[in-house]
Structure 1
Amino acid sequence: MSSRHLTARAIATGVLFGALLTPCNVYSGLKIGWSFNISIIALLLGAGLWGLLARLRLARPLSCGEGNIAQTASSSSANIISGGLVAPIPALAMLSGDNLPAMQLIAWVFVVSFLGIWVAWYLRDSLLLRSDLPFPTGRATAETLIEIFDEGREAALKLRVLLAGTTIAGTLKWLDGGWLALPRPGLGFTLPAGGAVAGVSGITAKNLTFTLDPSLMLAGFGAIIGLRAGLSLLLGAIVSWGLLGPWGLTAGFIAPGPDDPAASWFAEMIEWLLWPGVSLMVAAALTKFALQTLSAHRQAAIQPGRPPDGATWPRLLGLSVASALVVIAQVTIFDIHWLIAVSAVPIAFLLAMVASRVVGETGIPPIGAIGKVSQLSTGVTSPGDMTSNLIGANVAGGAAGQSADLLNDLKVGQTIGAPPQLQVVAQIFGVLTGSLVGSLVYLSLIPNPSTMLITEEWPAPAVATWKVVAETLSAGLGSIPTSALWAIAIAGTLGGVVSVIEHRRGPKWLPSMPALGLAMVIPASLSLTMFFGSLIGALLTRWRTSLAERFLIAAASGLIAGESLAGVGRALLGILQ
Structure 2
Amino acid sequence: MGFPTTLSMNLGMLVGWGILSPISKHAGWAPGPVGDMTTGARGWILWTALAIMCSDSLISLAPVVGEIVGRVSQSIRQHHGGDDSVAEVMSKDDDEIESEDRLVSTRTVVWGLMGSITLGTILVWLVFGHEGIKPWATLVGFLLGGLLSILGVRALGETDLNPVSGLGKISQLLFAVLQPGNIVANIIAGGVAEAGAQQAGDLMQDLKTGHLIGASPKAQFYGQLIGSTLSIFVTVTAYSLYQNAYPIPGPSFPAPTAYVWLSLARLLRDGDLPEKSGVFMLASAIIFGLNSAYKTATFRRGLWYAKWIPSGVAFAIGFLNTPSFSLARLVGGIVEYVYHTRLAKGGAGGANIRLIVIASGFVLGEGVLAAMDAAMACAEDAEPGVAYT
Q: TM-score normalized by structure 1? A: 0.46
1:330 is displaced (CA, Å) by: 4.0
Whether 1:428 and 2:225 are equivalent positions in the alignment is yes
Which of 278, 297, 300 aligns to 1:482? It is 278
Q: Unaligned stretches of 5+ in structure 2?
A: 76-87, 99-103, 377-389
Would you say 1:279 and 2:279 are equivalent positions?
Answer: no
Question: Are residues 552 and 535 of structure 1, via their aligned partners in 2, closer, same or farther at CA, if it must alter by over 3 Å?
Answer: farther
CA RMSD of aligned residues (A): 5.0
Q: Displacement, 1:349?
A: 3.9
Cα separation, 1, equivalents of 2:118 and 2:170: 22
How far apart are residue 231 of structure 1 and its match? 5.0
Corresponding position: 1:509 with 2:305: yes
Are the counterparts in 1 of residues 141 and 192 from structure 2 also a CA contact under 8 Å?
A: yes
Equivalent residue for 1:567, pick from 346, 366, 378:
366
Change (3 A) 1:540 1:469: closer
Indicate the residue corresponding to 1:14 in structure 2: none
How far apart are 1:393 and its partner, in Å? 2.6
Deviation at 1:417, TM superposition (A): 2.2
Query: Is the counterpart of residue 378 in structure 1 residue 175 in structure 2?
Result: yes
Which of 469, 476, 486 is matched with 2:263 structurally?
A: 469
Cα deviation, residue 253, structure 1: 6.2
Deviation (angstroms), 1:433: 1.9
Inter-CA distance 316–279: structure 2 relative to 1 (3 Å threshold):
farther
1:430 counterpart letter in structure 2: G
The corresponding residue for 2:317 is: 521
After superposition, give the CA deviation of every residue in 1:121-168 in whole Å (9 maximum; x if it has no partner).
Answer: xxxxxxxxxxxxxxxxxxxxxxxxxxxxxxxxxxxxxxxxxxxxxxxx
- Give unmatched runs, 5+ long, in structure 1: 1-220
In structure 1, the partner of 2:45 is 269
Superposed CA offset, 1:364-393 (max 9, x none): 988777656644543343232122123213
CA distance in 2, matches of 1:537, 1:426: 31
**Aligned match of 2:189 in 378, 385, 392?**
392
> CA 1:556–1:538 in structure 2 vs 1: closer, same or farther (change >3 Å)?
same
Residue of structure 1 in register with 2:139 after alignment: 342
Rounded Cα–Cα distance in structure 2 between residues aligned with 1:562 and 1:515: 28
Q: Is the 8 A contact 1:283 1:496 kept in 2?
A: yes
Distance in 2 (CA, whole Å) between partners of 1:445 and 1:537 is: 31
Residues matched between the structures, number: 345
The whole-number CA distance in structure 1 between the counterparts of 2:161 and 2:124 is 28
Shift of residue 280, structure 1, vs aligned partner: 0.8
Go from structure 1 to structure 2 and tell me whether the alpha carbon gap of 1:301 and 1:414 turns closer, same or farther (over 3 Å shift).
closer
Q: Is the 8 A contact 2:149 2:200 kept in 1?
A: yes
Identical amino acids, percent of aligned pairs: 19
Question: What is aligned with 1:491?
Answer: 288
Q: Verify: 1:413 aligned to 2:210, yes or no.
A: yes
Give the alignment of 1:140-539 within 5 angstroms. Answer: 221=1, 225=2, 228-233=4-9, 236-237=12-13, 257-258=33-34, 266=42, 268-285=44-61, 287-288=63-64, 290-291=66-67, 294=70, 304=92, 314=106, 317=110, 321=114, 322-323=116-117, 325-327=119-121, 329-331=123-125, 333=127, 334-335=129-130, 336-349=133-146, 352=149, 374-439=171-236, 442=239, 453-454=248-249, 461=255, 465=259, 468-469=262-263, 472-473=266-267, 475-479=269-273, 482-483=278-279, 484-485=281-282, 487-488=284-285, 490-492=287-289, 494-503=291-300, 505-511=301-307, 515-522=311-318, 523=321, 526-527=325-326, 530=329, 533-534=332-333, 537-539=336-338
1:287, 1:500 within 8 Å by CA — same for their partners in 2? Answer: no
TM-score by length of 2: 0.64
SS at match of 2:304: coil
Q: Tell me how far 1:560 sits from its aligned partner.
A: 2.3
Q: CA deviation at 1:547?
A: 4.8
